[in-house]
Amino acid sequence: MNNDTPKIRVRFAPSPTGHLHIGGVRTALFNYLYARQQGGTYCLRIEDTDKERSTDANMQEILSALEWLGLSADEKPVIQSEHIQEHLYAAQQLLNKDKAYRCFCTKEELDTDKAKAEAEKRPYRYSGKCRNLSAKEIQNKLEVKPYTVRFRIPEGVTRFKDMVYKDIAVNNEEIDDFIILRSDGTPIYQLSVVVDDANMGITHVIRGEDHLSNTPKQILLYLALGKKVPKFGHLPLILASDGKRLSKRHGASSVNEFKELGFLPEGLLNGLAPTEKGE
């Protein structure tokens, strides 16, 4: 690594909507180890924008579980809800550049379209009804109707080289114009995560493979906002012996439960650590 190579910065970004799941610990561990191996920085971001499901108690529990495991961050944790103004600013920039648009479709209209798609056994797609409204139409509706803000997916193909899954290409036609701001004006995960990762200078996004389908959407947001796209690595999830995602049903699944069973942090991490074969 020469002096021009930016130092790597990774992050673990749990949502405080429940206990710290062992799968999350594995994600944290891979980020931590990658940062240590590369001489980089391991950050933590608490994604607490889902106000109904996030609690302070869960956040404290996650922080102390990480501390118990020796996986505390190198910098002060970032609390996502403290950065909402930055997310809103990004949405406004996208609106100004016509890379996003206001959608006045009501929940009922969208639900009807969804039910129709389901009945016809085809995947639901937003109708695009508000994609090309004139300035006058928008002005008239603004006075009387609430709206969401949708990201305008450009034409083309989105490609990236995943650190685990290698070459991935998605035709943008397969991506819906997704919502970035709800009708109450609050930002959606896809937008918040991109703005925060960009502002935190994250160079490598290493997370569970359940986020793989979010990545093309997020890459398109980075590009639309003129931000540098980080590298991505998606880790296979931890499965139970029945092949299903490890959950309470299978026994202990959260750090606290393992702690109560008498596991030592070193033993737990050892069981989750990658082997030389990369498994």
d(CA 228, CA 218): 11
Instruction: Check binding of 15 to ligand GLU (CB under 6 A).
Output: yes
Range in contact with ligand GLU (rule: CB under 6 A) among 12-20, 32-40, 53-61, 149-157: 12-20
Instruction: Check binding of 47 to ligand GLU (CB under 6 A).
Output: yes
Q: Computed from CA positions of residues 131, 137, 138, 142, in that sequence, does the dihedral angle turn out positive or negative? A: negative
Per-position DSSP letters for 163-218, written without gaps between them: TTTEEEEEEGGGS---EEE-TTSPBPHHHHHHHHHHHTT--EEEEEGGGGGGHHHH
Please indicate whether residue 248 is annotated as part of the active site.
yes
Among 8, 9, 10, 13, which residue sits at the site for ligand GLU (rule: CB under 6 A)? 13
Instruction: Check binding of 211 to ligand GLU (CB under 6 A).
Output: yes
Please give the residues from 178 up to 197 whose contact with ligand GLU meets the rule CB under 6 A. 193
Instruction: Check binding of 254 to ligand GLU (CB under 6 A).
Output: no
Range in contact with ligand GLU (rule: CB under 6 A) among 11-19, 124-132, 152-160, 262-270: 11-19
Which residue number, 78 or 105, has a Cβ lying nearer to ligand GLU?
78
Segments of the chain assigned E as strands:
9-12, 41-46, 78-79, 100-103, 148-151, 157-162, 166-171, 179-181, 204-208, 231-235
Hey, is 122 helix, strand or coil? Answer: coil
Which residue number, 10 or 91, has a Cβ lying nearer to ligand GLU?
10
Check 99, 248, 259, 277 and give the catalytic one: 248
Q: What are phi and psi of 75, to 5 degrees?
A: -125, 170
Contact 268, 258 (CB under 8 A): yes
Which residue number, 26 or 207, has a Cβ lying nearer to ligand GLU?
207
Which residue number, 43 or 130, has a Cβ lying nearer to ligand GLU?
43
User: Interface residues with ligand GLU (CB under 6 A)?
Assistant: 13-15, 47, 193, 207, 211
Catalytic residues: 248
